[in-house]
């Protein structure tokens, strides 16, 4: 027998057993020093890999805690969802971003007080305020110069939003009434019929040359066209100073009366028209505040303006 070979095989076997023992995976417990929380981990060689608790979720009869964010599509549903799961430490955050306003309720928020127990904050109710089609249409074209034809088409498409208001007889918000008085009184406010008359007049004179555009002391303008059509009269066309629209800020929300000032500019014998909505920021803020106040009252939870922790 070759002694050297036997000794060599023994060394190989010992090395192999040592390596297998060293790299053999085993489940161990690791302890978090500050709290004493024990977790499972897999040790293999010099590495220790914690086991994520989620690998056991499929074997549980129930989740360890509630988590996830429900996206609600109406204020009513948001309130119902909050009331279904809230507790004394739940809280609501309201983001007043005018482009993407939203409300987030954190149902498992941290316990109240500096000494209160922290919680995960993973169970939430989300609501993104849907801006109304009317609000988006009027704001998208706000202060945008348009040709006579484009402006006339816009007015015809949105004429349903224009209010028939008789200043002095109809009750108007105080700031709107002051604006009307400043611009010359009730005669400066266009009715839907007046705007349609203006739109049709602009369409008839689309190819006409403007003779004059004069601002009168009443606040109205007079536009006189030199028509290229032989059978057109080219009569003066009055341009009112402003009109009022009634539109909701959010889908299915209440209507808000908003003043829109009419503007035009003459350049190269042509007119460019546009309108400027007056103080829509205050209108948005009022609509948002009313919705937030309703959530606060009907859920009986505190509401903070801002966003929750990520």
Backbone angles phi, psi at 158, to 5 degrees: -110, 15
Q: Which residues of 288-297 are buried (b: 16+ CB within 10 A; e: fewer)?
A: beebbeebee
The pLDDT score that the predictor gives to residue 45 is 72
Bin 61: left if φ > 0, else alpha if -120 < ψ < 50, else beta: alpha
The pLDDT score that the predictor gives to residue 83 is 98
Residue 119: DSSP 8-state: -
The pLDDT score that the predictor gives to residue 62 is 86
Alpha-carbon gap, residue 249 to 254, rounded angstroms: 8
Instruction: List, for residues 134-169, the tens digit of each pLDDT value.
Output: 999 999 999 999 887 888 889 889 999 999 876 555
Contact 161, 246 (CB under 8 A): yes
Alpha-carbon gap, residue 9 to 200, rounded angstroms: 105
- CA R_g for the chain: 35
Contact 260, 189 (CB under 8 A): no
The pLDDT score that the predictor gives to residue 131 is 95
DSSP-derived 3-state class of residue 184: coil
Render 248-286 in DSSP notation, one character per residue: ESBTT--EEEEEEEEEEEEETTEEEEEEEE--HHHHHHH
Spans of the chain, pLDDT less than 50: 213, 216-219, 225-232
Instruction: List, for residues 8-59, the tens digit of each pLDDT value.
Output: 566 656 656 555 555 677 888 888 888 888 888 888 777 888 888 888 888 8
């Amino acid at each position: 027998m070759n002694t050297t070979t036997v000794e060599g095989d023994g060394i190989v076997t010992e090395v192999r057993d040592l390596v297998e023992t060293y790299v053999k995976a085993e489940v161990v417990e690791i302890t978090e020093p500050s709290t004493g929380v024990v977790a499972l981990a897999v040790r293999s060689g010099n590495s220790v890999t914690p086991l994520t608790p989620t690998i056991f979720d499929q074997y549980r009869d129930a989740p360890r805690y509630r988590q996830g964010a429900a996206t609600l599509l109406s204020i009513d549903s948001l309130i119902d969802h909050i009331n279904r799961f809230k507790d004394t430490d739940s809280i609501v955050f309201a983001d007043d971003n005018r482009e993407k306003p939203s409300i987030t309720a954190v149902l498992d928020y941290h316990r109240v007080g500096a000494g209160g127990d922290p919680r995960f904050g993973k169970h939430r109710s989300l609501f993104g305020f849907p801006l109304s089609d009317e609000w988006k249409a009027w704001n998208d074209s706000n202060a945008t110069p348009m040709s006579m034809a484009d402006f006339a088409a816009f007015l015809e498409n949105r004429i349903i939003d224009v209010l028939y208001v008789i200043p002095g007889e109809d009750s108007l918000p105080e700031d709107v009434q002051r604006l009307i008085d400043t611009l010359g009184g009730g005669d400066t406010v266009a009715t839907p019929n007046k705007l349609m008359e203006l739109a049709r007049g602009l369409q008839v004179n689309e190819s006409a040359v403007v003779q004059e555009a004069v601002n009168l002391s009443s606040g109205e303008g007079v536009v006189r066209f030199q028509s290229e059509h032989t059978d057109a009269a080219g009569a003066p066309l009055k341009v009112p100073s402003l009109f009022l629209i009634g539109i909701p800020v959010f889908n299915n929300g209440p209507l808000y009366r908003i003043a829109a000032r009419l503007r035009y500019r003459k350049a190269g014998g042509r007119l460019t028209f546009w309108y400027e909505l007056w103080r829509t920021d205050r209108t948005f803020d009022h609509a948002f505040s009313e919705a937030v106040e309703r959530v606060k009252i009907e859920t009986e939870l505190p509401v903070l303006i801002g966003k929750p922790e990520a």
